[in-house]
Amino acid sequence: MQSRLNPYLSFTDNARQAMQFYRTVFGGTLDQHTFKEFGGSPDPSDDNKIMHSTLEADNGIVFMAADTPAGMQHSPGSTISMSLSGDDDAELSGYFERLSDGGTVTVPLDVAPWGDKFGMVTDRFGINWMVNIAGGSPQA
């Protein structure tokens, strides 16, 4: 799989509705998962919030979204993160490492509950990046 760059939208608590709307606009396949589906959150009020959503339109448009969990600040105007994904571990780990130089790692690149390697970093310019490396199976 070739590496891709996808925009990632952040909502307070209406990602489900927003992504359903975008599906009516762009068509395609919408995949949504709640915090509860991935083992929950420390705050049970997050259980039905969207932890991850992907819209893949037939024309190649792809973007993702999530709700903001309790305890995490939602900052309007800073609602987009850049998301890199693919299955080339060396390439994507290298991107993560280089983006981390002078930046702040907020989630270390490691195996996530859904089985892939995942990490988050804010680069030295304040841009938020997420890296997801496919290849695992969900943790039990």
Lookup result for tokens 């992504």: 19
What's the mean pLDDT when you consider all of the chain? 88
Note whether residue 64 is domain-resident: yes
Reported pTM: 0.69
Q: How many domains does the chain have?
A: 1
Model pLDDT, residue 78: 61
SS3 string, the chain, reads: CCCEEEEEEEECCCHHHHHHHHHHHHCCEEEEEECHHHCCCCCHHHCCCEEEEEEECCCCCEEEEEECCCCCCCCCCCCEEEEEEECCHHHHHHHHHHHHCCCEEEEEEEECCCCCEEEEEECCCCCEEEEEECCCCCCC
CA nearest to 68, candidates 8, 14, 127, 11: 11
Rounded distance between C-alpha atoms, residue 19 and residue 129, angstroms: 20
27-59 pLDDT per residue, tens: 999 999 999 998 877 788 889 999 999 999 998
Note whether residue 48 is domain-resident: yes
Note whether residue 85 is domain-resident: yes
CATH code assigned at 86: 3.10.180.10
Model pLDDT, residue 64: 92
Note whether residue 140 is domain-resident: no
Note whether residue 138 is domain-resident: no
Note whether residue 101 is domain-resident: yes
Note whether residue 139 is domain-resident: no
Question: Which structural domain, as residue segments, surrounds residue 44?
Answer: 4-133
The stretch 11-17 carries a mean pLDDT of: 90
Note whether residue 95 is domain-resident: yes
